[in-house]
């Protein structure tokens, strides 16, 4: 619980991800939580078999993207810490997104689309903030890398799932 309290301010852009503790156990918990929540969200939108495949690809791409970025930056010693920070933030946004996804599937209200759009923007800003701090780059560069992160993980997983199913 103490680790959650340390990571939570990151979701409000109040903590430097480099100052957060390194915990393999917390990383594993976040990885499992990420997988389960993403699977629940995807299974509500597409066929369950496709959902499992897409979430596996999405998770692998996320893990690989973080590793690649840190490798290119020569900061692989931060891998556990930064992957945990990204997954934790994704999980917090997903927790807020779960009711919105259920609301969307039940009613297809425009307000639920707007809420999901705001949650996506929040997620995008969190990833941008983390990358900016970790890579010590300017805002434009971190926005660009964040865009590639989302394209590679979400769009890449979707494209591979469509191609294979």
> What is the residue extent of each domain of the chain?
22-159
Please tell me the predicted confidence (pLDDT) of residue 6: 96
Q: Compute CA distances 109 → 45, 94, 101, 112, 165, whole Å.
A: 15, 19, 11, 5, 29
What's the chain's average pLDDT? 94
Instruction: Fill in the DSSP letter of residue 74.
Output: T
Dump pLDDT digits (tens) for 67-79: 999 999 999 999 9
Please tell me the predicted confidence (pLDDT) of residue 123: 97
Please tell me the predicted confidence (pLDDT) of residue 100: 85
Write down the number of H helices and E strands in the chain: 7, 0
Beta-carbon contacts of 135 under 8 Å, excluding residues fewer than 6 positions away, are 69, 73, 75, 141, 142, 145
Residue 79 CB coordination number (10 Å): 17
Please tell me the predicted confidence (pLDDT) of residue 105: 76
| Structure tokens belonging to residue 52 | 């499992």
**Cα separation, 22 vs 142, whole angstroms:** 23
Span between the terminal Cα atoms of the chain, in Å: 40
Instruction: For residues 9-19, give the mean pLDDT.
Output: 96
Instruction: For residues 129-157, give the mean pLDDT.
Output: 96
Q: Quick check: 17 and 85 in contact, CB under 8 A?
A: yes
């Amino acid at each position: 619980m103490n680790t959650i309290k340390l990571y939570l301010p990151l979701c409000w852009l109040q903590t430097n991800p480099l100052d957060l503790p390194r915990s393999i156990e917390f990383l594993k918990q976040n990885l499992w939580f990420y997988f389960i929540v993403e699977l629940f969200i995807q299974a509500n939108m597409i066929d369950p078999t496709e959902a499992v495949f897409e979430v596996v690809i999405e998770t692998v791409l996320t893990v690989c993207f973080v590793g690649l970025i840190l490798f290119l930056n020569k900061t692989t010693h931060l891998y556990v810490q930064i992957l945990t920070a990204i997954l934790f933030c994704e999980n917090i946004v997903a927790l807020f997104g779960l009711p919105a996804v259920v609301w969307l599937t039940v009613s297809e209200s425009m307000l639920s689309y707007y809420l999901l759009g705001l949650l996506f923007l929040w997620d995008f800003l969190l990833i941008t903030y983390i990358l900016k701090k970790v890579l010590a780059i300017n805002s434009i560069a971190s926005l660009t890398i964040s865009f590639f992160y989302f394209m590679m993980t979400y769009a890449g997983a979707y494209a591979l799932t469509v191609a294979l199913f």
